[in-house]
Amino acid sequence: MEEFDFTLAPSIGKEEVVCLATGEFIGARENVIFLGASGTGKTHLAQAIGQAVIYAGYRARFTTAVVLAQELLAAQDEHRLPRYLKSWQKMDLVIVDELGYLGLGPGGPLLFQFFAERYENGSVLVTSNLEFSRWSEVFGDPVLTAALLDRLTHHSHILVFEGESYRFRESQSKKKRTQKNP
């Protein structure tokens, strides 16, 4: 977290992120949602919060939305979905990264089921490059998406990341240095 430059992400309050890193939201079974363009620091801070809450004694796991959807589909195909879902119950926090980068296809309803089972039972931290109005593109069903958003956003902290991509800014800086020192 020390590496994150909050001056480059003025929409994100350092105090709120530091508070989230204590894990207090996990004790209250609240969720965290990071929204914003690619490269604005969502994954970086999600991982930093994950590490901090582990150091504070919580159990946390990091995955991407696509990998989780694929694992849920495999569990369903192998007739072990209830057992697989139950294995996640021991996690105090599940970080689901990159929701929205790829469609979930048949995994969408299963990911909904995953989030529904965690509702008020365990915390999730979700990162997405899409605003809420576009989440139905990922899940493929507006009714299911509305129900999911209702659960995820109830008792949640929503942080919107604005600003230029760190990776883009870094590549431009490197390009300028190279031009100065050929």
Residue 123 has pLDDT above 90, yes or no: yes
H-only helix segments in the chain: 14-21, 24-27, 42-55, 65-77, 81-87, 107-118, 135-139, 142-153, 166-180
Asked if the structure places residue 91 within a domain, the reply is yes
Residue 171 has pLDDT above 90, yes or no: no
Q: What is the pLDDT of residue 8?
A: 86
Predicted confidence band of residue 165 (pLDDT cuts 50, 70, 90)? confident
Q: What is the pLDDT of residue 15?
A: 96
Residue 89: give the domain boundaries.
6-180
Do the beta carbons of residue 134 and residue 100 sit within 8 Å? yes
Residue 173 has pLDDT above 60, yes or no: no
Asked if the structure places residue 10 within a domain, the reply is yes
Mean pLDDT, rounded, of the chain: 92
Q: State mean pLDDT over 10-39.
A: 96
Q: What is the CATH number of the domain that holds 124?
A: 3.40.50.300
